[in-house]
Amino acid sequence: IPVFVFSSQLREIEFTTDLDKLIITLEDGTTEIFRTTLYAYNGNVTLINIAEVIEDYMTKNDLVFTAFTMYYNNADGTNLGSFNLNTLFCTHIIEAEAGVYGSYNFLTTLTAKRVPMHSTDFLSLFHGQESGPLKIHAVYKAEDGSVGNKTFTLKTITTDDIGVSAIEVKYDTIYLRLRLQAGKVSKVLSYTIEFNNRYFTYYVVDNTPNVVFTFKNCFNVYEEIYLNAVTTTKTEVNRSMAISQGRHSFYDQSVDKTYEVETAPMTQAEAEWVEQLFMSHSVRLGTATDPDTLPEVIITDSTCEIDDNDEKLHQVKFTWQFVDHCPHLQTSAKTDESRIFTEPYNQ
């Protein structure tokens, strides 16, 4: 077993023994999370599907990386040995050692995404004890219409231990730093984040996406997804009716409100990434520094057909609703005089 493993790689663990049976336990620190008795066949004991136990435990406890210890004991409980399972959560099979993958990639299956201006995103990374500059490679449009590029260091990041951290990436911060570095900048066209051999690119779009979700991806970390889409709201009211003293009245009324979304065309990589939204165990509407403050939703139905035609764009359809099964009123956060209508009417 490698030093670091993805949870999805723990499908089968084999033990060699001359005993009739082994008692296998899995612990997180001092907490026992799994125990089973396995009987030997031809001197071998095989533990299967431990990945499901580990992923369920990490999901419930909101863990991305955990150092588990697996013990194997004889029938009377005497310990025969143990080994570490330094596990990085991942529900997808990745043909790479987790430590190597984490050294060259952020915890996302994308290498780039489209974001609107003034957006804030969080890039998660698996790291050891390391330090280095957070570099920005920006392409911008100057006020005279010319296009230029600039590379600068946003800050230095130092991590003291093995674990997972998130880097806040703000368009406005990059824009202001770019103006200091390059002068008269009209807008940022794209920017690539670099940290110790990890790279991720943001392409800035002019239009504001009208569907935004924050969801736990296949690494159990939050990602923001911005979609241009058409949303159809459907409301179904179910209730019973009774007649009393010649008057009709309703009772046992319930409201079922769903939102059907059809996205604008997207690339194959984006469509494959959106699949993680459909399978996510935690989806939130909107984006925030603390995603847990956002209203929780569930994806109830989805259609995503992907082919390998490089010239074809893909459209995705899905349906979502609020977890609390109550109608939500979308209110404006504005509290000033901007709420007064002052625009001229069309003549």
Give the CA distances from residue 288 to residues 30, 60, 225, 342, in Å, rounded to whole numbers and listed in that order. Answer: 34, 22, 12, 30
Top-confidence residue, 211 or 343: 211
> Could you tell me how far CA 222 lies from the centroid of its own chain?
4
SS3 292: helix
SS3 331: coil
Q: Give the span between the Cα atoms of 89 and 217, in whole angstroms.
A: 10
The pLDDT assigned to 334 comes to 59
The pLDDT assigned to 332 comes to 56
> Could you tell me how far CA 139 lies from the centroid of its own chain?
27
Q: Name the burial class of residue 278, with classes exposed (0-12), middle (13-18) and buried (19+) by CB atoms within 10 angstroms of its CB.
A: middle
Q: Give the span between the Cα atoms of 155 and 132, in whole angstroms.
A: 9
The angle formed by the CA atoms of residues 28, 32 and 36, to the nearest 5 degrees, is 120
Q: Is 210 left (phi over 0), alpha (psi -120 to 50) or beta?
A: alpha
What percentage of the chain exceeds 90 in pLDDT? 62
The dihedral through the CA atoms of 73, 79, 83, 89 has a sign that is positive
Q: What is the mean pLDDT of residues 194-205?
A: 96
The pLDDT assigned to 237 comes to 85
Q: What is the mean pLDDT of residues 151-164?
A: 92
b/e map 112-141, b = 16+ CB within 10 Å: bbbbeeebebbbbbbbeeeebebbbebbbe
Model confidence band, residue 336 (pLDDT cutoffs 50, 70, 90) = low
State which H helix or E strand residue 197 sits in.
none
Q: Does the pLDDT at position 333 exceed 60?
A: no
Residue closest to 297 by CA, chosen among 260, 317, 325, 323: 323
Residue closest to 138 by CA, chosen among 90, 185, 86, 192: 192
What pTM value is reported for the model?
0.86
The residues, ordered by sequence, that sit 6+ positions from 9 with a Cβ below 8 Å of its Cβ are 51, 93, 94, 98
Give the CA distances from residue 281 to residues 56, 60, 265, in Å, rounded to whole numbers and listed in that order. Answer: 11, 10, 25
**Which stretch of 149-153, 197-201, 300-304 has the lowest confidence by average pLDDT?**
300-304
Top-confidence residue, 337 or 292: 292
Top-confidence residue, 255 or 110: 110
Answer whether 265's CB lies under 8 Å from 311's CB: no
The residues, ordered by sequence, that sit 6+ positions from 217 with a Cβ below 8 Å of its Cβ are 107, 108, 109, 223, 276, 280
The pLDDT assigned to 245 comes to 81
The pLDDT assigned to 198 comes to 96
pLDDT tens for residues 41-93? 998 999 998 999 999 999 999 999 999 999 999 988 888 999 999 999 999 99
Do β-strands 4-6 and 44-48 pair in parallel, antiparallel, or remain unpaired?
unpaired
